[in-house]
Chains A and B, each alone.
Chain A
Amino acid sequence: MSAVVTGMGCISPAGKNCGVTWNGLLGNNAPELTGISETGQIVFKASLDPAYDSNGIFHRSVDLLTQALDEATADAGLKEISDPSRVGVCIGTTSAGFLNDMEFHRNLREHLIEKKPIKSFLDGNPAEYVKKRLALNGPAMTIINACASGTDAIGVALSWLNGGICDIVIAGGADELHNVSGAGFYSLGVTSEHLCRPFDRNRDGLNLGEGAAVLIMETRESAVRRKRVSDISIEGYSASGDARHITQPDPEGIGIERAIRSALKCAGINAENIGFINAHGTGTIHNDLAESHAFFRIFGDKCPYFSTKGKTGHTLGAAGAIEAVITALTLRKQKLPGSCRYQNPDPDIPIQPAPAMDVSAKYALSTSLAFGGCNSALIIKYESNRI
């Protein structure tokens, strides 16, 4: 049950494309573009190319998605599609799933309905937007699973490919900085007015970010037909629920442990085959504690892990997809970027994140934990001799 990845695109606060993003993960500096939200919290911004700025015609999430989409389709050589009915689209998001235009709601309170925000919302359903933009005719699904949306979109794509529903799936995630989500996370007390430091003893919350990532996933047969060779494949995916709390993860990380073990089984490998883990690692007390405990129970102290959210921020619906791309890039480089601003070990965290270091890894794991008790795990494989 696997799919090859023939193209990738990414934009995040760490960089405007895949290559710049990975280099932007190194070191402890803050991302280039930071800002302060209405609630006084630090946020990380992505550098959207002006050519992709629709100036309000679409949500910014869709603008970011388009930039990543163009990079991915170019990378995959996906210019002409022979059978559009065999190409699906599955995109994760949070902001683009809401009609959250503040001015629209102000007018609504005065009994006025403005047309433009409605059109922007309806035209901007991410999966339907991509389907229309590329004149596709396969399934199009927008996943709104909070912070696991991007990972789950990749998982749905894998199901479609293995089920023979599609030959190619454009999968990914996109999300933007927005006052509403900023206010929401602030109200929950999980954001920080300092630069976040995942897994650090002094961590005090997350920084929201924005971005998008797209993976062109195909069956091996489709890639061969299109004469595309790829060194990256999605080998396993699984998801599990905590069934416990609407926002907080299971404190012991039981749900993410279940998802990881199931993903390993799906990929047909054991824990010792995993070369490294790209953790969800938001920088909140609860998430980092739960996740690290799960890692320790499954991998002991044998598997290095890191978090990239010190550089990208928490990009919500885009996070899982951005981190899948970063995981693939890290496999290619065989070098871990480390966890930005991690300095002080937390005695409650059983195994500390790894510094920037060289690795010899064939398989890697990327994890996501979300509101609603959703936990998702993705296993990515790298075969260097395929290029």
Chain B
Amino acid sequence: MIFINGFGFCSSDGSMMKELTDAVGVSLPNNSLIKSDFKKQLRSSGAFVTAGVRASEEALYGSGITEESLATTGIIVTSRIGDQNTTSEFIDELIGYGANQGSPLKFAHSVHNAAASYIAKQFNIYGPAVTAVNFDASFSNGLTLAQCWIEQRTCDSVLLLQIESCSLLTRVLTSYADQCTIQPSEVMETSTFADSKAQCVAACFLLSNHELNTNNTMKIVLSRSEENSNSMKDPLAIESPLGDPIRLLSAILRTQKREVVTVAGKTYLIEKI
């Protein structure tokens, strides 16, 4: 049994839970708003990292986690495609200016675990951090690993995220991964395929082996289930490249008592007790 002590969803342009909660029909208390200014820290990081940091802050805020516990929290960042945009921008520099003219700042930020690194630095987290990129079951893999870490006492809490980019390049890759048809070569009208400033979205969950904020009137727990999923009402009115985490988040926001949700073929029970 895992406790969901916090959750967050955002896009890199700053729009937060409002879109999702409007779709689900649930209104969040004011503590869902960003309280601190990350802009200076994140100015060089790109949209992928920014989305991850903002979603993490959303999940941590009001969770009741102490600084001491946060220091040993684990971080798992998952993605289907990863941050191809920052890589593409670095490659553009090599093409445009030569192999020895690449920006070290761009290269450093192009590695897929940059987001986990920023999250760790921003929140003073010294626990294990893993970044995984898989077209299939990326979030599900992350959830399984988070459960292992918590159950095996590797860490008491885990920040589990999925981050995706909404750039045209990522949409092309995703559509191909999902076996949609693209032409062998296509002429596109837009001038920018890969842009590290392109909108990115992220969802984050703070999972723990116990309830962190004992002031909460209700705790949310997650466990594996053998029941069939009844989450047919998926309020994905929002166009989002996140699939499984949004499904999980929607179920958390929507359910009054209990709901069974499917994440990459595995069923989980969410209970509010």
Contacts and interface: CB of A to CB of B under 8 A. Distances in A.
A152 B131 CA distance: 10
Contact of A115 (B126, B132, B184): B184
Interface stretch (A54-62, A240-248, A290-298): A240-248
B154 A159 contact: yes
A318 interface: no
Contact of A142 (B102, B133, B169, B194): B133
B232 interface: no
Contacts of A155: 128
B164 to A, nearest CB: 15
B134 A142 contact: yes
Interface in B53-109: 75, 82, 84, 87-88, 90-92, 94-95, 99-100, 102-104, 107-109
B95 A373 contact: no
B257 interface: no
Contacts, number: 207
A162 B173 contact: no
B134 to A, nearest CB: 6
Nearest to B109: A246
B124 interface: yes
Contact of B90 (A115, A180, A374): A180
A350 interface: no
B87 A109 contact: no
B259 to A, nearest CB: 24
Nearest to B177: A122
Contacts of B133: 97, 125, 142, 144
Contacts of B84: 98-99
Contacts of B10: none
How many chain B residues sit at the interface, stated as a range, is 35 or more
Contacts of B182: 113, 115
Given A241-B129, A246-B114, A141 B134 contact: yes
B145 interface: yes
A271 interface: no
How many chain A residues sit at the interface, stated as a range, is 35 or more
Interface string A226-242: 00000000000011111
B187 to A, nearest CB: 5
Interface string A321-344: 000000000000000000000000
Nearest to A255: B126
Contact of A371 (B91, B117, B151): B117
Nearest to A373: B117
Contacts of A188: 104, 107-108
Contact of A239 (B107, B128, B183, B193): B128
Contacts of B132: 141-144
Interface in B105-136: 107-114, 116-118, 120-121, 124-136
10 contacts: A97-B82, A98-B87, A111-B190, A141-B132, A156-B145, A187-B102, A239-B129, A240-B128, A242-B126, A374-B117
Interface of B: 75, 82, 84, 87-88, 90-92, 94-95, 99-100, 102-104, 107-114, 116-118, 120-121, 124-137, 141, 144-145, 147-149, 151-152, 154, 169, 172-173, 176-177, 182-191, 193-194
